[in-house]
Amino acid sequence: MSREVIATPHAPAAVGPYSQAIAANGFVFVSGQLGLVPETKQFAGETVAAQTEQALENLAAILEAAGTDLAHVVKVTVYLADIASFKEMNEVYSAFFPAQPPARAAFAVRDLPLGALVEIEAIAVLPH
């Protein structure tokens, strides 16, 4: 089995004992990303839309560091602090996956780290 830790300064550093991503056997498993701006470690905004956009930009940066991109994402999980914000998240999300979007689950959870409104994790394949 091949296993490689993926890390990039273009996404927020892990806030606990985990890696930004792990590449293993042709897949990249990206840890949940919050809407934190890497340079400031502050949320990109106080709306679900702003945090969704930044979380997906962070996800894209990690995928790039791993040698892949959003077009190679096969599964996404979206965690929302409030399911009522699903539509707002979905409007931003759809711009990042305009064609042949990946499989996805989205649901509300009781709380998210640092008081985030959204957290997004993904699994992608590495291009051959």
pTM beyond cutoff 0.75: yes
Q: What's at 119, amino acid-wise?
A: E
Which three-class secondary structure string do you get for the chain? CCEEEECCCCCCCCCCCCCCEEEECCEEEEEEECCECCCCCCECCCCHHHHHHHHHHHHHHHHHHHCCCHHHEEEEEEEECCHHHHHHHHHHHHHHCCCCCCEEEEEECCCCHHHCCEEEEEEEECCC
- Are 46 and 18 within 8 A, CB to CB? no
Cβ atoms within 10 A of the Cβ of 48, count? 24
| pLDDT tens-digit profile, the chain (128 residues) | 789 999 999 999 987 899 999 999 999 999 999 999 999 999 999 999 999 999 999 999 999 999 999 999 999 999 999 999 999 999 999 999 999 999 999 999 999 999 999 999 999 999 97
